[in-house]
Amino acid sequence: MNHEPLLARGLAALDFDISSGILDKLIQYLDEIERWNPLYGLVSAEGEDLVIKHVLDSLSPWRVLAELLASLDSSIARNGMATVIDIGTGAGFPGIPLAIAFPERPFVLIERLEKRVRFLESAITLLGLSNVEIRQGTAENEQEAFQCVVFRALRPFGDKKLFRSIWKKIQPGGALFAYKGRLMHARLELAELSEDAVLGNLAARAQIVSVWVPFLEEERCVVIARKA
């Protein structure tokens, strides 16, 4: 499928300058996914769904993220630029589209499955993404403190063991940035954390922001929580 017309329209709707090279890199990335997908089973979507529900969905909150990162840069980043950690990145969503959109920003993509790691390493080499590091493993196994954690289609906040581990690893002043679907579902997930000794702090500090994905009628939002 020729992804360019739909992707170009979607990027323009999100106020990206498609002459910057972002369109070409994202098309390369989509081509690689479609080339590897039959053998590796990276994503279940294809065609328009792959463009809309994965790439454009990943990029939809970029302005919200940019504002958060500017705040983190000025408050906690020792080298002047906070690192974004994408947990459970899978085929690279949202990490690779975001790394293309923020080429000066360091990204670390964490993925458990070896076959996906091989794909990710091949993809960032092909795309020339020198700002991206791939790590095989899980968030729980990471030793360093997180400055900004992002994740998409990971698990509900109700998986308290996982999110206690993630929240504890976020450094003071750092942030969690979670892609979610319907606002009501996000509110209900956070409400379940209110009595938890660790995650009650996350829930109390969480902000839910609606986001718009071009060509998608389904509701989307992000949950942002800064650690005190």
> Residues comprising the binding site?
88, 93, 139-140, 152
**What type of residue sits at position 152?**
R
Tell me the three state secondary structure of residue 148.
Answer: strand
Q: Is 114 exposed, middle or buried (0-12, 13-18, 19+ CB in 10 A)?
A: exposed
**What type of residue sits at position 139?**
A
Query: Residue 30: CB partners within 8 Å, gap ≥ 6?
Result: 3, 7, 50, 51, 55
The values of phi and psi at residue 133, to 5°, are: -115, 135
> Using CA atoms, how far apart are residues 55 and 122, in angstroms rounded to an integer?
18
Known binding-site residues for S-adenosyl-L-methionine equal 88, 93, 139-140, 152
Q: Quick one: how far is CA 13 from the chain centroid? A: 20
Query: Residue 15: CB partners within 8 Å, gap ≥ 6?
Result: 63
Strands 107-111 and 146-152, how do they pair? Answer: unpaired
Task: Give the CA distances from residue 190 to residues 26, 127, 193, 205, 224, in Å, rounded to whole numbers and listed in that order.
Answer: 33, 37, 5, 10, 11
